Structure 1
Amino acid sequence: MRDDMIARKFDKLEKYVFLTVIAISLLPVLTNTFLPTMDGAAHLYNSNLINALLFENNPQIHEFFVLNQEPVPNWIGHFILAVFNLFLPSFVAEKILVLFYLIAFPLSFRALLKTIHPENYVVFSYLIFPFSYSFLFLLGFYNFSIALLLLFITLNYWIKNEDHLFSKKNIFVLFLLTTLTYFSHIFIFGLLLFFIGVHIVTKAVMTLVDNYPLQVKEAGKSVLKKSGIVLLSAFVPLLLLLNYFLSRDTPGNANFLEYSELIKWLKEIRPIIVYDFVFEATYTKKIFYVLMAMTVVSLYLQITGRFFSRGNPSPSAKGKIVLSNFWLILALSMLLFYFVLPDSDGTAGFVSVRLGLLFFIVLIIWLSTQRLPKWFTILGVLVVLYCNLRLTVYYSSVIRDLDNVAVECYEMSEKIAPNSVVLPLNYSDNWLAPHFSNYLGVDKPMVILENYECATGYFPVKWNEAKIPATLLGTTPPEQYSCLEWKSNAQSSLKKPIDYVFILGDIDSGTDSCTASIKENLEQNYSLISKTENCQLFKRKT
């Protein structure tokens, strides 16, 4: 009785510890206005455009932009931002999305571990924290990050209910989860189906190991029935996936990374290095060594327990060994894909980083199914949490500096009249800042002529190619500048001069003849109306 009371008190205390670690991880977001990322400003701007296209009769916006009629992935993050941006400032909408992810990501991972191995989930769930602020998340890949969250939730639901999937309710829930995953990110959707497929086969093998040859037919039937449920539940997103690939051209040249580079990335855990390779690798390498030490000890204990223990494992024990190693099979699959698949193919990018991230996450799930010495596990977790704390503090300082620039851009929009056409010029030396100009339009309707999402065809907003006019810098079209390009339709009879020119960084750092020509144009046709430490805004002379 007393032991039960102590255990309950420990469980309650441990939950508060876990929540405290989550709270600490939120500080970089809570202590700044924006979470400045490479693509985050573009997501906010296009979410504002979605609302303008849907709910406002705004000829200028409709002239340049149109909603993508194809049900493409990458909708979920934009949808959430657009909904909250209807009645909240953009920076609050972003905070809601980002905080939701940073809270739900570790909690959903912890819930998955609890389902898989209730005895080990408490300690091993702390290992996920360094992977919350991944390289991809801090690049602004919000849809991919949400898809990872949905991957945990869907796998958890599948494992809990796989033997009771034949009700309409369960099929509907699976349909909803797989569809949401598709509309979050196509890559994770494909991996979700792959994971579930491997799990179905693994459970069948476990059944055969436990009861061979009595359960051969039952195992076969189970595989067919469960596969049928998956196909039925994912039928709609699978059709959308087929349409997505059939409606696109063959990808371009594949770009493969050197094996030496890929191995180096694994040792450094490149998927969680963002701003400074040297500083961050000091801590990410320690995390790598902890995970590898746990892996080696787990394999050693498993091999010696299976092959050198007295007697043979019982049938049931053999089945459990097979099922626990399902996660090892997935981790090795991610590692194989990591070395075999190209890093990019002309359309998809950062493939190696995505697969590396998934490898480490799945490896942690597998480790949670192993019986490691408690002292060894706790020591490893403490090292990982220390490294995570140091990285979080460092992220806070970098994000604070980036936020200062983002706020400057955002506040510059007060000087811009609604529905204006703005040409951004990026002279910043910060590699994360190419889309910071989009902060101008996150809360005000305007046409910003730098919008990478509109050109891809796999985001919710596209350029309205049929109506875009010829946009001119003063009286000069973009074709006359070798160092500059912006969205314009040279064939259009409608000429529209650019209303404002926004400069991020120091234009005087450009000493080439093209930049000199731009400066001359600005001097002749535009007036400087606002200047801050990092930004300048010019307005067309009337």
Structure 2
Amino acid sequence: MKAEKLQVRVDTLYGAVIRNETWVTALLLLISVLPLWIFKYVPSLDGPQHLYNSNVIIQLLRGSEIFREFFRINEVVVGYWTGHFALSFFNLFLPAWLAEKMFLTAYVFGMVFSFRYLVRSIYPERQNLLVYLIFPFVFHSYLLMGYYSFSIAVIFFFWAFGYYITYSQHFRGKEMILFGILVLGVFLSHGLVFLFFGAAFLVYKVATILFSIVTGEKGVSAKELFGQLWRLAVSIMPAFFLWVFYIRAVMEINPSVRAAAYYKMELVRFLLRIRQLVGFNHEMESPAYYVLFSLLALLS
């Protein structure tokens, strides 16, 4: 009897959370942004540097002769711009400490709702608890290190993926343009995330084609498939070429760029404790993430 009562309570709670998904999301959003507003300053590694850069951008746009003697806007379209220019927007009319708070608050909302949009594009006919899985990842370690553009790129990543899934069956002129803009947003936010997006999107397209073949679903003809791929290529091409030019420019500056080297077991430990989530103290924070990793593995 106790087990049955417990099951009834769990089912009731589950149903309430599902039915009131909008309100639960709003509550979790409020809890998420609250730490940003408790204290005057938001601690991060590169945050002050980004605030300084945003001020330089503002002075250049205002035509400051002093700043023009030492700085100029990069002639190469940089896959790192979005965070700087978004922060500059808030810094135009707000003091630096408040501009950063507004920027990070907008980031939290963008991260949550872009992931929610992606989940709903995959499961359009029903509400899903998966929308809540984004909250543990909102304040990841890269954000707290001040990698703002990287974090903004993830928003465009989710948004672009969700948009294509939603409109893939009628992907024509307007859809191609909007998808291309979203993909361009990924690149302009972070070149590396753009590379991840391209790889993930390629896997997704190949998997959907193979799935339709294996399950015997009515597939598209070779002509239709070619048309789909051609329209996708046209949409992604502007961002791709800008990414190529950007990487070439970076390599010309420093051709000896190398990735950090880790032992295999170190990488395994990083994965198991979801190292990217740890904000400040690995010893204190990582134990909870082992549990979260196990939960995500079970859900997968």
Query: What TM-score do you get using the length of structure 2 for normalisation?
Result: 0.87
Q: How far 1:46 sits from its partner (Å)?
A: 0.6
1:262 is matched with which residue? 267
Partner Cα distance (1:98, 1:85) in 2: 13
Preserved CA contact (<8 Å) 1:110 1:121:
no
Q: Does 1:170 align with 2:172?
A: no
| Runs (5+) with no aligned partner, structure 1 | 1-6, 296-366, 368-542
Partner Cα distance (1:160, 1:245) in 2: 31
Partner Cα distance (1:254, 1:56) in 2: 38
1:160 is matched with which residue? 166
Q: Does 1:68 align with 2:74?
A: yes
- Residue 25 of structure 1 is aligned with which of 32, 53, 70? 32
Distance 1:10 1:272, change over 3 A: closer
* Matched AA of 1:289: S
1:51-81 Cα shifts (integer Å, max 9, x gaps): 111213332x222222211111111111111
Preserved CA contact (<8 Å) 2:90 2:103:
no
Partner Cα distance (2:17, 2:273) in 1: 35
Partner Cα distance (1:188, 1:57) in 2: 33
Q: Does 1:201 align with 2:206?
A: yes
Q: Name the structure where helix makes up a greater proportion of residues.
A: 2
Partner Cα distance (1:9, 1:274) in 2: 32
1:243-270 Cα shifts (integer Å, max 9, x gaps): 1223323333443200111111112111
Q: Does 1:39 align with 2:41?
A: no
Q: Does 1:48 align with 2:55?
A: yes
2:185 is matched with which residue? 180
1:76-100 Cα shifts (integer Å, max 9, x gaps): 1111111221222122221221001
User: What is the DSSP-based 3-state SS (H/G/I as helix, E as strand, rest coil) of the residue aligned with 1:20?
Assistant: helix
1:179-234 Cα shifts (integer Å, max 9, x gaps): 1111001111122222222222222223323437x74xx35334322221121112
Alignment RMSD: 2.3
- Residue 211 of structure 1 is aligned with which of 207, 216, 219? 216
Partner Cα distance (2:29, 2:256) in 1: 40
Distance 1:10 1:40, change over 3 A: closer
1:251 is matched with which residue? 256
2:100 is matched with which residue? 94
Partner Cα distance (2:90, 2:97) in 1: 10
Q: How far 1:141 sits from its partner (Å)?
A: 0.6
Partner Cα distance (1:70, 1:131) in 2: 32
- Residue 240 of structure 1 is aligned with which of 239, 242, 250? 242
| Runs (5+) with no aligned partner, structure 2 | 1-13
Q: How far 1:173 sits from its partner (Å)?
A: 0.2
Distance 1:206 1:96, change over 3 A: same
1:80 is matched with which residue? 86
Preserved CA contact (<8 Å) 1:204 1:223:
no
2:5 is matched with which residue? none
User: What is the DSSP-based 3-state SS (H/G/I as helix, E as strand, rest coil) of the residue aligned with 1:234?
Assistant: helix
Distance 1:211 1:260, change over 3 A: closer
* Matched AA of 1:137: L
Preserved CA contact (<8 Å) 2:33 2:108:
yes
What is the percent sequence identity of the aligned residues?
A: 29
Q: How far 1:13 sits from its partner (Å)?
A: 3.0
Preserved CA contact (<8 Å) 2:18 2:127:
no
Partner Cα distance (1:144, 1:94) in 2: 16
* Matched AA of 2:268: I
* Matched AA of 1:131: F
Partner Cα distance (1:36, 1:44) in 2: 13
Q: How far 1:135 sits from its partner (Å)?
A: 0.6
- Residue 150 of structure 2 is aligned with which of 140, 144, 153? 144
- Residue 58 of structure 1 is aligned with which of 57, 60, 65? 65
Preserved CA contact (<8 Å) 1:207 1:219:
no
Distance 1:257 1:63, change over 3 A: same
Q: How far 1:146 sits from its partner (Å)?
A: 0.6
Larger mean Cα displacement after TM superposition, 228-237 or 120-129: 120-129
**How many residue pairs end up in the alignment?**
284
Partner Cα distance (2:56, 2:152) in 1: 21
Partner Cα distance (1:29, 1:97) in 2: 10
User: What is the DSSP-based 3-state SS (H/G/I as helix, E as strand, rest coil) of the residue aligned with 2:98?
Assistant: helix
* Matched AA of 1:97: F
Alignment of 1:310-321 (within 5 A): none
Preserved CA contact (<8 Å) 1:201 1:223:
no
Q: How far 1:29 sits from its partner (Å)?
A: 0.4
Alignment of 1:269-284 (within 5 A): 269-284=274-289
Preserved CA contact (<8 Å) 1:108 1:153:
yes
1:262-307 Cα shifts (integer Å, max 9, x gaps): 1111121111112111110121122122223x15xxxxxxxxxxxx
Q: How far 1:236 sits from its partner (Å)?
A: 1.5
1:221 is matched with which residue? 223
* Matched AA of 2:182: L
Preserved CA contact (<8 Å) 1:47 1:78:
yes
Partner Cα distance (1:240, 1:265) in 2: 32
Preserved CA contact (<8 Å) 2:51 2:96:
yes
Preserved CA contact (<8 Å) 2:18 2:129:
no
Distance 1:79 1:233, change over 3 A: same
Partner Cα distance (2:224, 2:208) in 1: 9
Preserved CA contact (<8 Å) 2:79 2:243:
no
Q: Does 1:123 align with 2:129?
A: yes
Partner Cα distance (2:204, 2:121) in 1: 14
Partner Cα distance (1:80, 1:253) in 2: 29
